[in-house]
């Protein structure tokens, strides 16, 4: 396991007190000036250190001509970093309308380049939001942890594939990040690992301690980078894959001939067609095994 990053100074409170390079006030002042006391119900754990948010922004790679979709800009720490690192446009969806005046300050600095929507990201029609966009689109966010997994699954299950984004760089609580990149045989391996790794190359690129955030959450965090695989193999239907993993991991301690009974009438036949022993358990199957099972179901040769 990687060592956690050292404790983080926020840009206003650090010994250097260097001014943010965009000329806007330090984030701590923004939060005070716009009365943005963090709301726990909205998962508001802000990142105030521009060194960290800029590092997250840089993980998106070449920013020229790039539009970044951001969920939950809050007072705008990551949004500012995205622009400082050269993003052409940011399309942001924030549930908390109190953040409007802070985000307006950023919009004034980058005329016509920040498109902020005040809505629930779970309801967003992403393709509609980026319809007018030219050039590559990526997703970057310090996600609200209460809806992070749901948002991720929505982006991973999007159709058609390859998706509308070419990369995602997302902050999760560390336990979720570890589930995303988990390998077969590990405790963390499950539905999220299979979906993530079938459709993308996913890796943890940064660990952050709770103290990096204001206020600090109860758990450590990690940033995961996802690069879509253009043609995931075996080429099954993503919804079928979700059904297979739900059945298999729903009873992860049981043998597959038992746990897949909710999925098909004769699991042994399906498993034989996939070349998998009926006595295997979900956590020992590879991502490829799951996709092969789903593909056999898609073809209707499942013994159901």
Contact residues for ligand SAM, defined by CB under 6 A: 42-47, 71-74, 77-78, 93-96, 120-122, 142, 144, 147
Q: What is the DSSP string of 95-153?
A: S-GGGHHHHHHHHHHSTTTEEEEES-GGG--HHHHTTT--S-EEEEEE--TTTHHHHHH
Q: Compute the least distance from the CB of residue 65 to ligand SAM, in Å.
A: 23
Q: Which is nearer to ligand SAM, 71 or 139 (CB)?
A: 71
- Give the span between the Cα atoms of 44 and 37, in whole angstroms: 9
Minimum distance between the CB of residue 19 and ligand SAM, rounded to whole angstroms? 19
Give the residue closest to ligand SAM by C-beta. Answer: 72
CA separation (Å) from 304 to 254, 262, 297?
20, 11, 9
Tokens linked to 214: 């204001």
Minimum distance of ligand SAM from residue 117's CB (angstroms) = 9
Q: With respect to ligand SAM, which residue has the nearer C-beta, 76 or 228? A: 76
Q: Which is closer to ligand SAM, CB of 46 or CB of 290?
A: 46
CB of 134 to ligand SAM, least distance (A): 25
The nearer residue to ligand SAM, 45 or 259, going by C-beta atoms, is: 45
Long-range contacts of 252-261 (CB under 8 A, 24+ apart): 252/190, 252/281, 252/282, 252/283, 253/281, 254/281, 255/279, 255/280, 255/281, 256/280, 256/281, 256/282, 256/285
In angstroms, what is the minimal distance from the CB of 207 to ligand SAM? 16
Work out how close the CB of 212 gets to ligand SAM at its nearest, in angstroms, rounded to a whole number: 10
Contact 44, 65 (CB under 8 A): no
Q: HSE-up of 275 (CA within 13 Å, CB side)?
A: 5
Q: Which is nearer to ligand SAM, 73 or 267 (CB)?
A: 73
Nearest CB to ligand SAM, comparing residues 90 and 276 = 90
């Amino acid at each position: 396991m990687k060592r956690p990053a050292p404790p983080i100074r926020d840009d206003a409170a650090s010994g250097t007190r260097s001014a943010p390079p965009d000329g806007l006030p330090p984030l701590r002042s923004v939060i005070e000036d716009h009365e943005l006391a963090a709301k726990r119900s909205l998962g508001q754990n802000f990142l105030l250190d521009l060194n960290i948010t800029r590092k997250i922004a840089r993980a998106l790679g070449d920013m020229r001509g790039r539009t970044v979709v951001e969920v939950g800009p809050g007072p705008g720490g990551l949004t500012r970093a995205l622009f400082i690192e050269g993003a052409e446009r940011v399309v942001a969806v924030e549930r908390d309308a109190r953040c409007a005046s802070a985000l307006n300050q950023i919009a004034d600095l980058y005329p016509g380049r920040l498109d902020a929507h005040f809505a629930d990201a779970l309801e967003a029609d992403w393709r509609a939001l980026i319809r007018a966009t030219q050039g590559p689109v990526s997703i970057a966010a310090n996600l609200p942890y209460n809806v992070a997994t749901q948002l991720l699954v929505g982006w991973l299950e999007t159709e058609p594939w390859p998706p509308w984004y070419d990369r995602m760089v997302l902050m999760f609580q560390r336990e979720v990040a570890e589930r995303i990149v988990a390998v077969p045989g590990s405790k963390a391996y499950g539905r999220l690992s299979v979906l993530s790794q079938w459709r993308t190359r996913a890796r943890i690129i940064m660990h952050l301690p709770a103290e990096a955030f204001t206020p600090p959450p109860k758990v450590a965090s990690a940033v995961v980078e996802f690069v879509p695989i253009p043609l995931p193999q075996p080429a099954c239907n993503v919804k079928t894959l979700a059904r297979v993993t739900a059945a298999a991991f729903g009873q992860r301690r049981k043998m597959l001939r038992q746990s897949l009974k909710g999925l098909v009438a004769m699991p042994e036949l399906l498993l034989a067609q996939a070349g998998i022993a009926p006595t295997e358990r979900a956590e020992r199957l590879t991502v490829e095994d799951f996709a092969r099972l789903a593909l056999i179901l898609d073809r209707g040769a499942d013994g159901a």
